């Protein structure tokens, strides 16, 4: 299963979807996305918890 984060679920008006093989990688990619695309200055514990709460598991290749 892949870890999948839909950016919209985090609260952004964005169709971005992050897919990774591990939770750690997904969190890192989501943080980079939020910084580069949405101008987030700092990834706080709250942001990390929010991202974790919306993280899904999907079979590889789905969507
Ligand atoms: Zn986004």
Domain count, the chain: 1
Q: Answer whether residue 63 is part of any domain.
A: no
Per-position pLDDT tens, the chain of length 63: 999 999 999 999 999 999 999 999 999 999 999 999 999 999 999 999 999 999 999 998 655
- Check if the beta carbon of residue 7 is closer than 8 Å to that of residue 16: yes
Give pTM, 2 decimals: 0.88
List residues, by chain if needed, whose CB lies under 5 Å from ion ligand 1: 7, 12, 14, 16, 37
Domain that holds residue 40: 2-58
Q: Answer whether residue 35 is part of any domain.
A: yes
Contacts of 39 (CB under 8 A, 6+ apart): none
As separate numbers, helices (DSSP H) first and strands (DSSP E) second, the chain gives 3, 3
Measured in Å, residue 48 CA sits from the centre of ligand 1 at 14
Q: Answer whether residue 46 is part of any domain.
A: yes
Q: Answer whether residue 20 is part of any domain.
A: yes
* Residue-level pLDDT at 60: 83
The closest of 21, 15, 8 to 57, measured between CA atoms, is 21
Token pair 């952004």: residue:
12
* Residue-level pLDDT at 30: 97
């Amino acid at each position: 299963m892949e870890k999948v984060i839909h950016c919209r679920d985090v609260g952004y008006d964005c169709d971005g979807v992050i897919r990774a093989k591990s939770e750690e990688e997904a969190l890192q990619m989501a943080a980079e996305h939020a910084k580069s695309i949405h101008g987030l200055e700092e990834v706080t514990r709250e942001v990390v918890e929010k991202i974790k709460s919306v993280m899904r598991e999907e079979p590889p290749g789905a969507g």
